[in-house]
Amino acid sequence: MKAAVVKGAGATPAYDDFPEPQAANGERRIAVAAAALSPLTKSRAAGTHYTSAGAFPFVAGVDGVGRLDDGARVYFVLPRAPYGAMAERCVARPEQCVGLPDGLDDVLAAAIANPGMSSWAALTERAKLAAGETVLINGATGSAGRLAVQIAKRLGAGKVIATGRNPRALAGVGADQTIALVEDQAALEGAFAEPFAAGVDVVLDYLWGASAERLLIAAAKAGRGKRVRFVQIGSVTAPDIVLPSAVLRSTAIELMGSGIGSVPTDRLLAAIGSLFQAAVGGGLEAVTKAVPLSQVEAAWSMPGDAARIVFTI
């Protein structure tokens, strides 16, 4: 079969032949229709993600959309290695599959599953968002952040504040308030002070790095005893921060993560199922770019912030 094959650490996947997977031990064989190019897919292919196996060669792709042998349309996640999602076929266990509702396009489903799950699970499983609360999304101009704005409102947030480095892109995310991430750290902390003084209940952080540091410090300075649930989701800016210990001692900040490991797989899949139901009939919007899998080598390094690249098979 044809697949996007990773032949070594850091290598761009090649469109090449790969052995057919054989279903075993209750697994389901899936004829893949679409698989999105996500940051998780890239980092696992590069061997830099904490869930990377490090064995080569393997097929790239952590999730996708396809059909079972009985014709049922499903979304699937983490197919059995080395058979990733970016191939004509893969295998996965039934509990790793979610049925797709009628009316939801394959490409859109593949595009929103991973980025949409990141905020849906963070808000419902980790932050336990209550209706009317204020949510601040740090890094809202990428595909995951844009969906997070929509999802926070869908789940009942009373106010959504968005941050980003691109003022023009930030203006189009649909948030109630926006904050530009400027280079001057003192100015950035000052910009964060006003919303925290007014009250921020939940922070979804896709960036980490300097902006996360300033957010946590601003939350601590805004008032003692104020409960803020800070949920760390991604590290686009940097993998580490420097956090003064007084930040955690001086205020009721709850610092937590959301992702594979911190949320059980069955709960992540349940979040994706709810996400799909919300997306039917235009309930959620995402910009997508469908690309034939045969063009994987050229498309692998394309910028993916404005439009989610989805490989079609």
Every domain of the chain and the residues it spans: 2-104+280-312, 114-257
- By three-state DSSP, how is residue 289 classified? strand
Label residue 53 by pLDDT band (50, 70, 90): low
No. of helices (H) and no. of strands (E), the chain? 9, 16
Label residue 74 by pLDDT band (50, 70, 90): very high
CB atoms within 10 A of CB 239: 8
The pLDDT value recorded for residue 51 is: 62
CB atoms within 10 A of CB 99: 12
The pLDDT value recorded for residue 67 is: 98
The stretch 108-135 carries a mean pLDDT of 97
Q: In this predicted model, which residue has the larger pLDDT, 124 or 305?
A: 124
Is the pLDDT at 49 greater than 80? The verdict is: no
pLDDT above 70: percentage of residues in the chain: 96
Is the pLDDT at 166 greater than 70? The verdict is: yes
The stretch 294-304 carries a mean pLDDT of 87
In CATH terms, the fold of domain 114-257 is: Rossmann fold (3.40.50)
The pLDDT value recorded for residue 215 is: 96
Instruction: Yes or no: say if 26 and 303 are a contact pair by the CB < 8 Å rule.
Output: no
Q: What is the pTM of this model?
A: 0.90
Taking CA atoms, 239 is separated from 234, 236, 262, in Å, by 9, 8, 17
| Range of 62-76, 183-197, 238-252, 292-306 with top mean pLDDT | 62-76
The pLDDT value recorded for residue 270 is: 95
Supply the CATH classification number for the domain 2-104+280-312: 3.90.180.10
Distance CA 61, CA 79 (A): 9
Is the pLDDT at 200 greater than 80? The verdict is: yes
Is the pLDDT at 223 greater than 90? The verdict is: no
Which single residue is written with the structure tokens 């034939």?
Answer: 292
Label residue 195 by pLDDT band (50, 70, 90): very high
The stretch 37-48 carries a mean pLDDT of 82
| Lowest-pLDDT choice from 172-176, 197-201, 223-227 | 223-227
Dig out the tokens for 255 from the structure. 């610092």
Q: In the chain, helix, strand, coil percent, each to 5? A: 35, 25, 40
Dig out the tokens for 312 from the structure. 């079609």
The pLDDT value recorded for residue 50 is: 65
| Lowest-pLDDT choice from 67-81, 211-225, 228-242 | 211-225
Same fold, 2-104+280-312 and 114-257: no
Label residue 101 by pLDDT band (50, 70, 90): very high
The pLDDT value recorded for residue 62 is: 93
| Lowest-pLDDT choice from 39-48, 194-203, 292-301 | 39-48
The pLDDT value recorded for residue 202 is: 98
